[in-house]
Structure 1
């Protein structure tokens, strides 16, 4: 359970806060970020027609953030073998934990802030991305013959994130369980913009923030639509509404020394729109490593990795904002494959309302618990999942 600071609303500091234009008006306060103890790491410095063209700054800010990642994978917590699968499973320490990872709480101020979701580009020109290995949860969704990421940040502050791209109508339902998160995006066509503005997502784009928190990094041979980046520190500091709550837990996590039933699996292959994805279990680092189209997928820290891969097979329908854009149907029920600790748990996902998180149950109807740590949620079309033994 998370210990949350009880805060008294206060008047925003006008020298640091900026009004958010074009979205629902809310009180905004500056939030001084406290670094959780550890290493300070400096990050390395569809539809293009629906992107905003603002933002002219080109210098990337130097982020200051507490970071646990290493070159190939995030440093793994202590592991022990499970009784049922003889695969390692992470041991969670007793005490309060972060809502979106189940890892021990290091700073109550971090736990008390809202989640920040960024739409991150996955076009070949956008790679390597920034920030993926420091997101607590990452959703991969189909867009127009490609995929895009909705990276959810809460317990870590990576500083530079991106490239930032446009949102989709499917984001409104998908992200509704994160308790009014900050939603960092480049903008969208009029219908998508209305959908975001009418939702409880706190939309932050170059136009709504007057470019605060955004910058361009123009690289040779890279089209402009893949050059927009953001700074998490600036977004949290300048645009956190006073009364926005922190996110609630999205998944259950295993208790210390708790064994679990699952079949051994070396990973999973996914056929996404225009992209083949593979996750492979790395026992030495107790993490899954990601490949795209047969090549390792890197961000600014190293190969993209995670402690859990949750595959939710979903139906896609044409978006009401653009019939060419697929819209994931994330309310209802469907087949789930949970890859955790080197094992596969087959089951079902269920979600009755956009404000509720996904419920994951195994074939016996019991709730599936994850390894404490970071989680990737894959949203392939029905039948496009191949577990690897």
Structure 2
């Protein structure tokens, strides 16, 4: 009887050894890290929010504008009659209302080609631009695509009364090109004010040292504040739209290439050069000596001025 119990114990032990050997000999698709330590878990990356681009009216009847203070970047584009129009870029938290919203221009297609499928809010476009807009990287979100996102404000004359509720637009996805940020290089000239002229618009900038921003005025009207102001001299050509309602040619600002610029940051004025080799590239700025000219943290205004 004792022998039978002993035989059962030995059999159980042997069975356990066989199971352990079988498990140890199983093939594995994972390599053990050096030192036998467990690998660190993969970081969970936040979903990219992408960009919202909004074309904004920029004449006297459009004042006061809404939502500009929340924009990361604002481009000032030359349009017909020597006037200007804004293209505001939002990559963070969206304001409740933006506007007045106006039409797309041919300049927008090349200017925003480096963005990964940005949502593009605009009031409409000339028929000549329909094919160009559809074949671009822009996710078109005008009133015809997203009618519930737009409304007409009382007390303003058309076409200066169309406003946008950004929260009602398609979800933003993808990535956006980032400005080169960092400490200012040596040099630069301390200035309290500066200005630039378009044929029918004058922009003046005043440094506010306590706020660390530039105050931006258009034709004497306070418009916005920005940590960086860039005056980018660009070639301008006549585009697909030969005439508009004002019976004048519609200019197209060329933003691929290189040229002269001025960068205002930290209360200083830096003569600069800009360069953008391809439409998918971000624009880079350097000093006259070729040193990188990064921007300060905070909002950026870029004025595309015909050279």
TM-score category (smaller protein): 0.7 to 0.9
Pick closer, same or farther for the CA change 1:126–1:5 going to 2, 3 Å: farther
Aligned length: 259
Task: State the structure with bigger RCO (CA 8 A, min sep 6), 1 or 2.
Answer: 1
Name 2:51's counterpart in structure 1.
115
Name 1:44's counterpart in structure 2.
none
What's the CA shift string for 1:109-129, capped at 9, x where partnerless? 6xx211000000012111000
Structure (1 or 2) with the larger CA radius of gyration: 2
Name 2:292's counterpart in structure 1.
367
Name 1:37's counterpart in structure 2.
none
Give the TM-score of the pair, scaled to structure 2: 0.80
Answering whether residue 185 of structure 2 is matched by residue 253 of structure 1, we say no
Name 1:179's counterpart in structure 2.
116
Pick closer, same or farther for the CA change 1:118–1:5 going to 2, 3 Å: farther
RMSD over equivalenced CA pairs, Å: 1.7
Name 1:380's counterpart in structure 2.
305
Find the residue that maps to 2:305 and give its secondary structure. coil
Answering whether residue 89 of structure 2 is matched by residue 131 of structure 1, we say no
Deviation at 1:334, TM superposition (A): 0.7
Name 2:159's counterpart in structure 1.
225
Measure the CA separation in 1 of the matches of 2:145 and 2:198.
Answer: 32
Deviation at 1:5, TM superposition (A): 6.0
Find the residue that maps to 2:80 and give its secondary structure. coil
Measure the CA separation in 1 of the matches of 2:134 and 2:149.
Answer: 19
Deviation at 1:181, TM superposition (A): 0.8
Name 1:93's counterpart in structure 2.
none
Find the residue that maps to 2:66 and give its secondary structure. coil
What's the CA shift string for 1:196-215, capped at 9, x where partnerless? 11101111111012x12111
Find the residue that maps to 1:125 and give its secondary structure. helix
Stretches of structure 1 lacking an aligned partner (at least 5 in a row): 7-107, 299-303, 383-389
Find the residue that maps to 2:261 and give its secondary structure. strand
Measure the CA separation in 2 of the matches of 1:259 and 1:336.
Answer: 16
Find the residue that maps to 1:252 and give its secondary structure. coil
Find the residue that maps to 2:77 and give its secondary structure. strand
Give the TM-score of the pair, scaled to structure 1: 0.64
Measure the CA separation in 1 of the matches of 2:288 and 2:93.
Answer: 34
Matches within 5 A, 1:72-221: 108=46, 112-145=48-81, 146-209=83-146, 211-219=147-155
| Large movers: runs of 4+ above 6 Å | none
Deviation at 1:248, TM superposition (A): 2.7
Indicate if the aligned counterparts of 1:170 and 1:327 stay in contact, CA closer than 8 A: yes
Measure the CA separation in 1 of the matches of 2:185 and 2:143.
Answer: 47
Pick closer, same or farther for the CA change 1:379–1:217 going to 2, 3 Å: same
* Deviates further, 315-324 or 361-370: 315-324
